[in-house]
Each structure stands twice: as C-alpha cells, then as structure tokens.
Amino acid sequence: MSSLEISHLKVTLGKKLILDDLSFSLAQGQIAALLGPSGCGKTTLLRSIAGLIQPSHGTVRFGNQLVSLSSLVLPSHKRKLGYVPQEGALFPHLNVAENIAFGLDRSTFTKDKIRQITKEMLGLIELQGFENRMPSQLSGGQQTRVALARALAVKPALVLLDEPFSALDAELRADLRSDVIDLLRAQNTTAILVTHDREEALVSADVVALMREGKIIQQGTPEAVYSTPISLETAIGTGDALVLAAAKMADGGTAYLFNSAAKGAAVEKGHIVIRPEEIKIDRDLSKATAIGLIEKIDYYGHDAMITVDVSGEALKIRIPGPFDFVLGEKVSLHHAGPIRFFANEIPAL
C-alpha cells in the first residue's frame, strides 16, 4: 500500500499554473528527493501535501485517507505529518524541549508523557542535556536536529524536508544529512526531501523525482535516473554530463562520438550524453576513440577532473587517483559506458 498517493494535482496561483497534472506515489518507509531548479514547483508540491496550499484539481491521499482535493482540504494539524523547513525555523522564544514538544496535543498527552517523548527525541538526535537551551544558543546543525525531533515527536505518517541543510557548510551538511537519513530509515519513516543539489538527491533517496515547470519529467531509483535518463534534459539534471553533437549511422545504428568526421551516411542527428567517469584515459594512442591534449587538472584527493581538448572541444573526464598525467600531454580516450543518444534535442544548459 502507498503511504502517499498524489493524483493529477494542479495548483494555480493567480493565472499562473504552478503544478501541472502531477502524479506521484511513495510506499511506507521510502524516502523521495524532489530535484530541480528554483521555481520548478518543488516547495509548492510540498506545501500542497502539507495542506498549506489548496490544489485546483487532483487528490492527495495518506494511505487510505483522502486529505486533499479541489473541494476539500484537511487542515495541516490533522494530517499527522512533520515539516522541517529551511534552517529549522525553531520558535525563538521556546527552549529546545518546548520546541520538540510543540506539536504534542495537551488534550491527548499528559505532562509526564510529553516529558518522556521529549527525552526520547533528545536521545534520538543525540542532544541530551540541551533541553533548556534556546535556539540562539545552538549551531545550525543542532537547530536542524531539533527541528527534525519536533517533526518526529508526533509519530508522523510523513516527514517533509524543505532544503533543511542548505544553510550549512559542506562538511557539516554531508554529515548531518547522513545522520538525518539514517534516523528516518531507522524509524521506517516515509519522507520527501526537497533539494536542488544533484548529489544530495542521489545519495539520500530511494526515489528521485526530477521536476521542471510544475511537472515530474522523470522518476525512479537514483541508479536509474542517473544511468538511464529518458531525455537530454533529465541527463543534465541528474549529474555531470558531456553533451556532444553526434549522428546515428546507416551502417550500424550507433552514435558517432567526439564530432569526428563520420564514415558513412548519417541517418539521424542529435546529441549523446557521456558521464565523466565513463571515459577512460591512457597513453596508448594506437586504438583511441579520440586523441587530445590535457589542458587542465582539478585534483580533489580521492579523484580528479581532467579537461582534455579534442579538436577544440573541452571534455571533462573524472579519474581516480593516483595518476601521473601532466598538463600538455597527448592522451587517448576510450568511451567505456552506454550510448545515450537523443535525437535533435537542444541541451537545457
């Protein structure tokens, strides 16, 4: 059974269509990442799920419960969900314990039960002893942890995370993101993460949904959307990509690489997409798919991005370390990945 089921959702603000006939579903315990540029509708979708925006068409269901359609919206506080906005958004006048307990209904839970739940949540986020601190006394990462604990305290059917790590520095962001995802998985919590960071989406989610202009243009596992994009746009949207003009040839139906002069008749023109790690580089020039000169080396420790000039085209190639290539060296290139050919598409760069 789906934990979340969205069917043909449309949201119009004024005369502008923000979400356009969008359908999406998640099973219990799955984590989804909504990936796309600013303005594509990610946060509007999240707010529609939360009940903060009323759709003009379509339905939202939590399990068997219908929570939203154009003529009925179940209020947010009755949807049993947790919401973690950007930068945590803790109440500044409440301490950590009070922030965590904020969503617990006083008519349902006794004071002792609320204290017990709060203590459990503090242990879960590893902030025991912080209950009396104010938000201003916490780091950015600690504030995000408290916001997550507040969301989980009500035992939600669904947790919505709206770019909660965006304000953090790179190292803290990666560490906290890993901790949060591990925590959600340990609780078997269904969750949706909004992000414009491709790496964050791929590393965090069971399902990646790539959004453009109010629509989901591709969704699937991280491996599927990265390795088998359905269009040039989704290929570029899910990872680093070499986009090269190419043609399918009459003698074999394959794309001809690296803009070299084609031998035979071209039956279809378009572009191919190659991931940087799918190009192999070496010094044996005798059997090369292409030959070029190294013009730039960006070294990252565990690997490097090497830029090779091939007939005026700069190809970025990711290789693992250690290596001993040098600037200006002539090298051969071999394509070691799948052929992804898209006919007559214009790159959405």
pTM: 0.84
Gap between the Cα atoms of 233 and 225, Å rounded: 11
Two tokens, residue 322: 């250690």
Q: What string of DSSP letters covers 74-119? A: --GGGS-EEEE-TT----TTS-HHHHHHTTS-TTTS-HHHHHHHHH
Is 100 in contact with 153 (CB distance < 8 Å)?
Answer: yes
pLDDT for the residue numbered 96: 95
DSSP-based helix, strand, coil % in the chain, nearest 5? 25, 35, 40
Q: Report the length, in residues, of the chain.
A: 349
Note whether 92 and 136 are within 8 A (CB): yes
What pLDDT is stored for residue 259 in this prediction?
Answer: 47
Please give the Cα distance from 119 to 129 (Å, whole number): 9
pLDDT of the residue at 283: 92
**Predicted pLDDT at 88:** 64
pLDDT at 194: 94
Divide the 349 residues of the chain into consecutive groups of 10 and give the mean pLDDT of each group.
86 91 94 93 92 89 79 75 81 93 85 92 89 92 88 88 82 84 89 93 96 95 95 91 82 57 68 90 86 93 91 89 90 88 64
**Which H or E run contains 149?**
helix 140-153
Half-sphere exposure of 303 (CA within 13 A, CB side): 9
Neighbouring-strand partners of residue 297: 306
**Pair type for strands 65-69 and 57-62:** antiparallel
Q: Are 59 and 8 spatial neighbours (Cβ–Cβ below 8 Å)?
A: yes
